[in-house]
């Protein structure tokens, strides 16, 4: 009933949601609908279809030594949950975890980002219309408010943000031995080999990188391209950006802006450092501080010491690195922390298997980008530095649930033979158990 109530209310308020996000920073209305409200609505519908099965006690077999018993796993709510949401998808990344919490039976406090204050205020008013405050509530404020919330005891904390803040969240949860889901970030690579469909690869990479002006935690952070096809891929990326946003993306109604001045200056600094160290501009490079605008930009010949190869970019600047040997490409990925996503573009199945065996990542796609995130039956999350725990669908339900194991005795068994006082017969029985059961 709660999920259905949330679905009905969000469907009716979708235009309010668009207006709230656009009041914080420019994004196309269509982009907001697709990546904010539509994602949440689909998550709710998936939960409505499956929550009855997820919450049903699951029978498990019993070993021969426990004959006469039954065993089951019963999911139960972990308790009050704290959801700390980021600014880049301020509605989706607040409400998708809330759907999982509601499905699992957990009341929740949602802390939106102070960087998107209009959306935070809308979330507060919207959830107040849907839930009583003892079921779901929004608490607004800056980092000091987050610190106060983290000092409280929570059954589960769901945090989306940077690895550095993720460590703060994990330390806070440890004080109360609470569990956490950390959806972090990192430098997600796109690897393109000589067998790839270059037109498809260029289109998918450009779309996923320049969507929301690159402010996506699973956007490709850099491209590793086989040197034999790197020049053609460079051209394809530039052509795709032109096709999406026209000759002057600043005039495109579909191209987003950076969220604030601080973030704009950080990305501009990474771009300037790369160019100063000798990077070649393939396309883009134009900036407008007044608009917080950075054009869709592709860089080649980026020097290894450039900051842009060591920091997560989180903006519309894409370095392309050419590789001569497959091992060098995989070593480049392994030299960095495990990424949240990895995208492979290849038509060689044996090579694809090698790329996956030779790296670690939270998730990803083959010959696509971003879309693994939208599949509710694919658990979404990071690996090590890029996060822990899983979200979406049943994985999200389980994140907010405690699997309670229950053994039920139906009738007496031979285990009384193992009670003290022990006898030579007990010793022989133990030997038998060690060998066969």
Catalytic center residues: 183, 217
- Detail the DSSP E strand segments found in 184-278: 189-192, 222-226
In the chain, how many H helices and how many E strands? 15, 18
Q: Which two tokens stand for residue 103?
A: 């499905």
Cis omega (within 30 of 0) on the bond before 421? Answer: yes
Question: Which one, of 306, 273, 268, lies nearest residue 284 by Cα?
Answer: 268
> Residue 319: in which H helix or E strand, if any?
strand 317-323
Residues in the chain: 437
Q: At what angle do helices 2-12 and 14-24 cross, to 10 degrees?
A: 70
The CA distance from 30 to 115, in Å, is 22
Report yes or no: 157 and 82 within 8 Å, Cβ to Cβ: yes
Residue 14 CA from chain centroid, whole number: 23
Q: Which residue has the tokens 């972990």?
A: 78
Contacts of 426 (CB under 8 A, 6+ apart): 417, 418
């Amino acid at each position: 009933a709660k999920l259905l109530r949330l679905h009905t209310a969000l469907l009716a308020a979708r235009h309010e949601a668009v207006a709230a996000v656009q009041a914080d920073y420019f994004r196309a209305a269509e982009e907001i609908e697709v990546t904010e409200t539509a994602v949440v609505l689909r998550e709710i519908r998936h939960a409505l279809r499956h929550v009855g099965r997820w919450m049903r006690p699951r029978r498990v077999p019993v070993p021969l030594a426990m004959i006469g018993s039954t065993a089951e796993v019963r999911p139960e709510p972990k308790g009050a949950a704290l959801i700390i949401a980021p600014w880049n998808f301020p509605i989706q990344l607040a409400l998708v975890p809330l759907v999982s919490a509601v499905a699992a039976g957990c009341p929740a406090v949602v802390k939106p980002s102070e960087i998107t204050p209009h959306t935070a205020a809308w979330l507060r008013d919207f959830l107040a219309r849907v839930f009583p405050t003892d079921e779901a509530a929004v608490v607004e404020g800056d980092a000091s408010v987050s610190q106060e919330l983290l000092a409280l005891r929570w059954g589960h904390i769901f945090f989306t943000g940077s690895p550095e803040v993720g460590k703060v969240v994990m330390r806070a949860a440890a004080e109360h031995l609470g569990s956490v889901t950390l959806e972090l970030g990192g430098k997600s690579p796109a690897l393109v080999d000589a067998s790839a469909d270059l037109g498809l690869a260029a289109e998918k990479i450009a779309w996923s990188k320049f969507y929301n002006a690159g402010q996506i935690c699973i956007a490709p952070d850099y491209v590793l391209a086989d040197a034999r096809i790197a020049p053609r891929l460079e051209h394809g990326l530039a052509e795709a950006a032109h096709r999406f946003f026209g000759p002057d993306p600043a005039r495109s109604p579909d191209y987003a802006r950076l969220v604030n001045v601080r973030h704009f200056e950080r990305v501009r600094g990474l771009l300037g450092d790369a160019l100063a160290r000798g990077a070649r501009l393939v396309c883009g490079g134009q900036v407008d501080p007044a608009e917080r605008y950075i054009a869709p930009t592709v860089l080649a010949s980026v020097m290894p010491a450039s900051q842009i190869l060591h920091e997560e970019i989180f903006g519309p600047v894409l370095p392309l690195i050419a590789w001569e040997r497959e091992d060098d490409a995989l070593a480049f990925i392994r030299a960095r922390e495990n990424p949240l996503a990895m995208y492979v573009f290849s038509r060689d199945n044996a090579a694809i298997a090698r790329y996956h065996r030779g790296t670690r990542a939270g998730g990803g796609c083959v010959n696509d980008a971003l879309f693994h995130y939208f599949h509710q039956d694919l658990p979404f999350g990071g690996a090590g530095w890029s996060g822990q725990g899983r979200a979406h669908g049943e994985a999200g339900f389980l994140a907010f649930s405690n699997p309670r194991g229950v053994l039920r005795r139906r009738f007496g068994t031979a285990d009384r033979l193992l009670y003290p006082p022990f006898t030579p017969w007990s010793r022989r029985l133990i030997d038998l158990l060690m060998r066969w059961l």
